[in-house]
Amino acid sequence: MINLSLRNSAVLVTLLLLMNACASDRIPGPNNRMIASHHDAARYLVRMAGADLQPNSKLIAASFADVNNLTTSSTFGRMASQQLVSSFVIQGYSFVEMLMRNSIYIDSREGEFLLSREVADLSTEHNAPVVLVGTYAVADDNIFVTAKLIRTADNVIVASYDYAVPYTRDMRTLLRPVR
């Protein structure tokens, strides 16, 4: 009887050790595919930007635009931008909240676009050396997204990432025109 109990204890300890070995020190990510895709994109952009992206600097984000009409966005485009911003903030970066500013073109139905001023002016005004921008295109089964970090001093793309989000019923809702 004691031998069986000792054996069961050994099996239990082994299983616990194996489970612990599979554990990650990563903060649990979102379980929604759209959110996970945007957070993955942000992590990649941070790695790719390297020295061009300093944690103590402020960044600016624009709504992601429809690639077929760069002056329009959608709820999807606004959420894509905001979800990437969330991931950047989790990683220790700061963003200027552009929804509260009048230095860019803002249409409540479309989003905030970097149209009304040159990017260099925004950089100086907000001390933001890098801007997050993006575009998306809707296809039959996916929404294809490109996210970029642009250095405002010279408009050079310092990081870019392409990814796809499945075109689901939720995505169709987020892409509907705002009434």
Q: Is residue 16 a part of any domain in this protein?
A: no
- Give the range of the structural domain holding residue 134, as residue numbers without chain letter: 30-175
Per-residue pLDDT of 31-50, as tens digits, reads 588 899 999 999 999 999 99
- Looking up residue 106, the CATH number of its domain turns out to be 3.40.50.10610
Domain annotation covers residue 25: no
The answer to whether residue 90 is domain-embedded is: yes
19-23, 61-65, 80-84: which is most confident? 80-84
| Res 75 pLDDT > 60 | yes
Q: Flag whether 3 is in a domain.
A: no
Give pLDDT tens digits for 92-150. 999 887 654 444 444 444 444 444 344 556 667 778 889 899 999 999 999 999 999 99
Alpha carbons 74 and 176: distance in angstroms, whole number: 7
Q: Is 5 among the domain residues? A: no
Give me the number of domains the chain comprises: 1
Tell me the pLDDT tens digit for each residue of 97-111.
Answer: 765 444 444 444 444
Q: How far is CA 64 from the centre of its chain?
A: 11
